[in-house]
Structure 1
Amino acid sequence: MPTRPKLRAVRTLPPPVRLFLLSQLAFNVGFYLVVPFLAAHLSSGLGLAGWVVGIVLGVRTFSQQGLFLVGGALTDRFGVRPVLLTGCLVRIAGFCTLAATTSLPGVLAGTVLTGFAAALFSPAVETGLAHEGRRLEDGGGITRAELFALDDVVGKVGSLVGPVLGAVLLAVEFRTTCLVAAGIFGLVLVLNARWAPRDHGTVRETSVSAGWSAVLRNRRFLLFAALYSTLLLAYNQMYLALPVELERATGSQDALGLMFVLAAVVTVTAQVPLARWARRRGAATALPLGFAVSALAFGLVAAATFAPAPGWVPALAPAAAFVVVLHLGSALAGPVARDLVPPLAGERYVGAHYGALASGGGLAVLLGSTAVGALLEPGAGLPWLLLTALLLASAAGLALASRRPARPLTG
């Protein structure tokens, strides 16, 4: 029986894995210190219109997820360590830019830099975990899917600390928050510059373009990436649509930090057990179910906009239900999907395939966030219904593709 991945088991993992997990923790603390409060800064602090805020958030996500293909291919070519360190440097530059500017071009430049930094950092860490996870699984340790679940838990601990610290820093200028975040990424840079292994066993592929060509020829993977992209669009609504729902329910966004704390608590408590259950049931069951559960999260808020709850129901109930159910769906689908990427890639150009998976999601977020941002206003149910339908369509597509007699998607 494989060892069950619990937080206390982190200290028993190999040093490269522990460093990756610690880096993920610190990286998420810095990220969630700023990004959940970016929309409020853009709208309230800088006075930007809702559709402009949607574009800025979409650009941030696209510059992150959309450029993962570049970061993944660079990881395949040069290795995990140099790409990870470069990502830290770029993220520091991005937050310093956000701290120094109040103009829209400056904000766009800062958001692009912060996004591209993650496009370098995250595929590098993900590729390292994929290779180390295979070693652990082959050696009778935890499975790769369980390691990814543990990575999600560690990341969510960071997302729990980040919003709390960000909420504390709301009393000071936004630029101060950005500078604190830049300092955290400086710590990640120092740790990895000092202790990250120069070669921990990942394959150095011969060229960057070869990885891109392999991805484009892999039709099964491209179908999977297209269907999976809607989950990233759905999760991005934590930053765009959730604040609007809070405005509808309470007249302010003061509870936003609390919602991110709730999201972190759900993930920390439920991620590993749900990932273990999903691993036993298989991707053909877990993936469609995870998408269907995520669709339910949007359906609940849509119902609240069309039929307001009676007075005895707390005003934050729809938003809280959205956060809980969305993260349960993500917990079911996320680790299984990440575990599926290396087999779909044939265990070659793994970084490029992880990058392409995120890039497809980034494109979906860029297009979807612009459309949703134009439709969103307190009390509007249409954007929530559209996202519900989109997730249900992806769930159906994954179920059908997974059950094809010839080369099933998840087989």
Structure 2
Amino acid sequence: MQDETVKISSPDGSVAEVFVAFLKLGLTAFGGPIAHLGYFRTEFVERRRWVDDRSYSDLVALCQFLPGPASSQVGMALGLGRAGWLGLLAAWVGFTLPSAIALTLFAFSIAEYQELSQSGWIHGLKIVAVAIVAQAVCGMAKSLCPDWPRAVLAILAALLTMVFSSAMGQVAAIAMTGLLGWWGLKITPPGGGQAHCYPVSRKLGMAALMLFAVPLVGLPLWGAATGTGSSTTITLLEGVYRSGALVFGGGHVVLPLLQATVVPSGMVSNADFLAGYGAAQAVPGPLFTFSAYLGVIAQGPLHGWVGGLALLSTIFFPAFLILIGVLPFWEGLHRRESIQAAMAGVNAGVVGILGSALYDPVWTSAIHCKADFALALLLFGLLTIGRAPPALVVLLAGVAGITI
């Protein structure tokens, strides 16, 4: 087959233009990945006209199909199409930098003032995490489990991850629901239209897919073969890479994957983990920047600024590789019924995984009395019924946590 490098529009923009556009969004795009995609459409389809509505919709479909942070992957592809490979990097840096800096500074505050982690304000952040994860579970269940077969897959995944709470239990749940979906679900693939092709050759795509798989196999083997100190660092990097590689269904699903990596090993306490997760809701940009917070406060050889930067890069790297790997083949993949069925099963499974995480560690670590439950219920109502901005809800939770 001829090596194709078809593209819809030539990269005729500048790297600086891409960086400034995404930096503005990184400073203002609150509300999670679905909201981010809405901001992107307004900015790049309606206002700047970098792509047309049809091309943008197809790109969104691709990135929602792939594992990884969908909004960040859409941004990478838009930067690639506008200003080439440096444009891709500029889009990622601009969109990611503000929240990564904010969470890094918050992590240093937690590390410097140990009493802060025991304060009522931090307890409020743990409680708001209950409301936010519950909102994510409800929203994802409605869209990803619309029928009883997928609801059953979600329940099976939840049960499996409750019994086997390790990272391998979560991987097994994803694999099981994908296989059951491929075998038993009937999904009608989309028809008509042409996929949006970017300047990525099939050879480069294949190389990216192979490179994507290397750390998933190589890092565990490397960690097992090295000494204790090195093994701790490699295990941390492997767990964060695996989390970035296996996240389907939205950024909130990264919570149980990262928790299984850093909390049981003692690298991050459960209290600090949930405090950081709550704080991550108050900043704009991608939720994956939570990894920068974990890298700063982790106990072990890898910590501080270096740890934050290392984990931030590690969690986004598989999203970049899988995007580049699949772009040249998307036209054929997204029309295959078996692929659609398997992905529908995986998406149902991640609802169950997130539901399991809602109970443990989120609920068990934050809700200790009736007042905690009442506050969580109020915050959940503000998010789901009142449609209050997440940043405002987090602020209210912090203030309320001081009083209870």
Asked if TM exceeds 0.5, the reply is no
Per the normalisation by structure 2, the TM-score is 0.29
Per the normalisation by structure 1, the TM-score is 0.29
